[in-house]
Structure 1
Amino acid sequence: MHVSVLVWWLTVIGIGGLLLFDYFFHVRKAHIPTLRESAVWSAAYVGAAILFGIGVWLFGGSDMGAEYFAGYVTEKALSVDNLFVFLIIMASFRVPRADQQKVLLFGVTFALVARTGFIFLGAALINSFAWVFYLFGLILLLTAGNLLKPETEKGHSGENIMVRLARRFLRTSEHYDGDKLMTMVDGKRVLTPMLLVMVAIAGTDLLFALDSIPAIFGLTQNVYIVFTATAFSLLGLRQLYFLIDGLLDRLIYLAYGLAAILAFIGVKLVLHALHENNVPFINEGEPVPVVEISTGLSLTVIIGVLVITVIASLVSRKGRAQNLSSAARRYATRLLDPECDPEECADTYRRLLAEEKHLRTLPEKYQKKFREDEKLMDLLHRAHEAWDADYTRT
């Protein structure tokens, strides 16, 4: 289906309007979004993506509609995985909870701009060089393998090369000034750590794009579908972060599910490359008669793997134990932040007590594991001491 210039412009204006709406009505005043606010707006953005997909299905046909939904679901799943890294980055920079919305929205905006550039670059390469499908397939297979390796927070710290360069050449303060990018220190205007956080998010987004763009090109080569599926998967990511913040650590099998999906799409790309082959040293430059994977089958596999992955994670005792432990660690770290707002700290302390209560209801083998974690025990002890010393109210 050919997409007219008018439809392209209307789509870009609509997506740009949604972003501007977020900037002017949601993050203009720093605040911690409630669960209800996050749920309502997450549902609104997902609903908008589904309605758009139905429109594509009606006006573009079932194949085009299936390609959109396969791309959207895949990119959304990868975006949820990205939230883990955003969480680590903001924790390492100790971003105040109320200011995290602005950081996330900047990340979404930068990701949308960067990935749009990658999309058109990828499309140009595919149109010019058929062997690019082999390259994209290899990238996805390697990424799938990397997802199966154990990850640490250190591997996703905020100190990437862009941050190190920013620290070296830019004068920054040690403390935040709300969500401002600049502040005054000793009569001089300097940059705040908020800029470094945004630089870290931007650098991470560029790395994510190297995985996500080949993944969606493995499902469709229609640039309009690639762009809209990517854009709608990013819109609402900020609200989704606050909605599933407490469940992120519970999804312990998500990496395995994403690895399976990326490996599946990687194989699909290689098969397509063989079918369109013109590389001289493969079958003398002639197409190879191989079976190609249909879009309908791709959509079924992607949704099926994600459903199994999420259900397995949610019913897993290990997942629940890890979720409680990570939440307690996160709340304790927040309490030890000297810039923690008193009202926010009071809410954090209540949450910490609730997590510790739930920890004591876990099977003995998990409780023993936590008691043997000296760093966690010391962190919780210091958090309680800090609360007793600074935040107890009579």
Structure 2
Amino acid sequence: MDVTLGVWTASIGAIVAMLLVDLVAHRRAHVIGVREAAAWSAAWIAIGVTFGVVVWQVYGATAGQAYFAGYLIEKSLAVDNVFVWAIIFSYFAVPRQYQHRVLFLGVLGALVLRGGFIAAGAVLIERFSWILYVFAAFLLFTGYRMLRQRDEHLDPERSRALRLFRRYVPMTDAFHGQRLLVRSRGVVLATPLLAVLVLVEVTDLVFAVDSIPAIFAVTDEPFLVFTANAFALLGLRAMYFLLADLIHRFVYLKIGLALVLVWVGLKMLVKIDLYYVPTALSLAVVATILATSVVASLVATRGQGRRSLPAPQDPPFRLATDEETARLEPLLRRRARARTR
């Protein structure tokens, strides 16, 4: 597959442009409702599918099938991110109107991080073919571990990343709107929103370690790996606001995700020396596993409506008082004057 520098540049430019559109559309802090989240989710999926159709038309059916298989794998594994984000936001009692800013910056960081992972993975595969055995073994182990730990969830209180952040970074214990940093008595302090963002980025790092080898099991073409990742991630924020109150209904989804990882691990293992599983067959198997787990979950929990995760009785962070916010006004006015000059 011959992808020119111009195609790479145009694709990355389009992704950056869509991020900017999303940022401008949500520049004002507000609660994103189900209807708005559903509309944005549909739009992002349509964009991702349209890009796949273009790849299919320009580079052929094999490339198109590889893109869609990778997109579906990344999109499904990203649902696990949604569940973890819901736990984090609930534990820290992050106001819903501020959550989009954290997720936007989190996804932006994830795109950069995964771009680096993909580049490193492509170089390793090209130079050391035996690394595919390591990727396959890792996927099989991860799938097995996910099956064993399917009822376990992240405990933010025990997060080492959060403990290290709070130990070494001066911070306030109150949310100050969407601000990540504030100045108090001449000292710059991190807000709880920055601490939450750090935890979101750390959890995405963990998920990236699982998802990047999984998509390399489908295709080793860096362009397809990166674009499938990027377009799957672009709609992740809207997916969160659409599904966050329904996570209690997807009781079998984690089993489905574990089986997907086991499948792609086996596919990678047999591809090395034994047999190349057609991409169309791989796509069909992944889609069947995911559809079965989702339908079984919805049937098992029918009658249950939306339900937010319970917030802790004594959350670690709070909203800033009017008096505390007023102290920041002189600083905000100076910044506003500086921008108008």
TM over 0.5: yes
Cα drift, residue 21 of structure 1 = 1.4
Counterpart AA for 2:267: K
For 2:59 and 2:217, locate their aligned partners in 1 and report how far apart those are by CA, in whole Å: 19
- Counterpart secondary structure, 1:291: coil
Q: Give the aligned partner of residue 83 of structure 1.
A: 82
Matched, 1:330 2:310: yes
The alpha-carbon distance between structure 1 residues 268 and 170, as it changes in their structure 2 partners (threshold 3 A), is same
Q: Give the aligned partner of residue 92 of structure 2.
A: 93
Cα drift, residue 297 of structure 1 = 0.7
Matched, 1:103 2:83: no
The alpha-carbon distance between structure 1 residues 272 and 332, as it changes in their structure 2 partners (threshold 3 A), is same
1:1-394 to structure 2, matched below 5 A, reads: 1-26=1-26, 28-150=27-149, 155-157=154-156, 159-185=158-184, 188-273=187-272, 275=273, 290-317=274-301, 327=307, 329-330=309-310, 339=319
The alpha-carbon distance between structure 1 residues 217 and 320, as it changes in their structure 2 partners (threshold 3 A), is farther
- Please give the per-residue CA displacement for 1:66-114, whole angstroms capped at 9, x wherever unaligned: 0000000000000011111111112222211110111111111111110
- Counterpart secondary structure, 2:189: strand
Cα drift, residue 139 of structure 1 = 0.8
Specify which structure has the bigger relative contact order, considering alpha-carbon pairs within 8 angstroms and separated by 6 or more residues. 2
For 1:338 and 1:11, locate their aligned partners in 2 and report how far apart those are by CA, in whole Å: 41
The alignment covers a number of residue pairs equal to 321
For 2:229 and 2:266, locate their aligned partners in 1 and report how far apart those are by CA, in whole Å: 21
Q: Give the aligned partner of residue 333 of structure 2.
A: none
Out of 144-153 and 80-89, give the one that drifted further.
144-153
1:120–1:223 Cα contact (<8 Å) kept: yes
Cα drift, residue 25 of structure 1 = 2.2
1:159–1:200 Cα contact (<8 Å) kept: no
Note the residue ranges of structure 1 that are not aligned, 5 or more in a row.
Answer: 276-289, 342-394
- Please give the per-residue CA displacement for 1:33-91, whole angstroms capped at 9, x wherever unaligned: 12221111110100000111011111111111000000000000000111111111122
2:173–2:317 Cα contact (<8 Å) kept: no
For 2:308 and 2:38, locate their aligned partners in 1 and report how far apart those are by CA, in whole Å: 23
2:174–2:317 Cα contact (<8 Å) kept: no
Counterpart AA for 2:296: A
- Counterpart secondary structure, 1:330: coil
How high is the TM-score relative to the length of structure 1? 0.77
Counterpart AA for 1:213: I
1:133–1:272 Cα contact (<8 Å) kept: no
- Counterpart secondary structure, 1:190: strand
Counterpart AA for 1:219: V
Cα drift, residue 330 of structure 1 = 2.3
The alpha-carbon distance between structure 1 residues 78 and 62, as it changes in their structure 2 partners (threshold 3 A), is same
How high is the TM-score relative to the length of structure 2? 0.88
The alpha-carbon distance between structure 1 residues 154 and 219, as it changes in their structure 2 partners (threshold 3 A), is closer
For 1:194 and 1:337, locate their aligned partners in 2 and report how far apart those are by CA, in whole Å: 9
- Counterpart secondary structure, 2:2: coil
- Please give the per-residue CA displacement for 1:226-246, whole angstroms capped at 9, x wherever unaligned: 000000000011111111222
- Counterpart secondary structure, 1:23: helix
Q: Give the aligned partner of residue 375 of structure 1.
A: none
Note the residue ranges of structure 2 that are not aligned, 5 or more in a row.
Answer: 322-341
